[in-house]
Amino acid sequence: MTKVRRLQILCFVEGKRTSRSQSYSTKAVEQEALDYCKKLFASNQSNSTDFVYAGTLVGVHLRLWIVHRANGEDGMSLTPLWVAPYPKSNEDYKDLGDSADGQEVLRAFHGMISVAPQPWIETKGIGVVPSSGGGAFQLPTIDRPDFIPESIAPVLPSVPTGPTISGLPPDYVRVTKFLVTTTSYTWMTSSGETGSGRVAELDVERCYLLNKERQLYADSATENVPVRL
CA-nearest of 227, 17, 55 to 135 is 17
Q: What mean pLDDT is predicted for residues 58-87?
A: 79
Q: What mean pLDDT is predicted for residues 6-24?
A: 47
| Length of the chain as a residue count | 229
Pairwise pLDDT comparison (20 vs 173), residue with the higher score: 173
DSSP H helix total and E strand total for the chain: 2, 10
d(CA 119, CA 124) in angstroms, rounded, equals: 14
| pLDDT band (50, 70, 90) for residue 47 | low
Q: Are 78 and 87 in contact (CB under 8 A)?
A: yes
Q: Are 94 and 105 in contact (CB under 8 A)?
A: yes
% of the chain exceeding 90 in pLDDT: 0
pLDDT single digits (tens) 132-162: 443 333 333 333 333 333 333 333 333 333 4
pLDDT single digits (tens) 77-131: 988 887 654 544 566 788 888 888 888 888 888 778 777 777 655 444 333 333 3
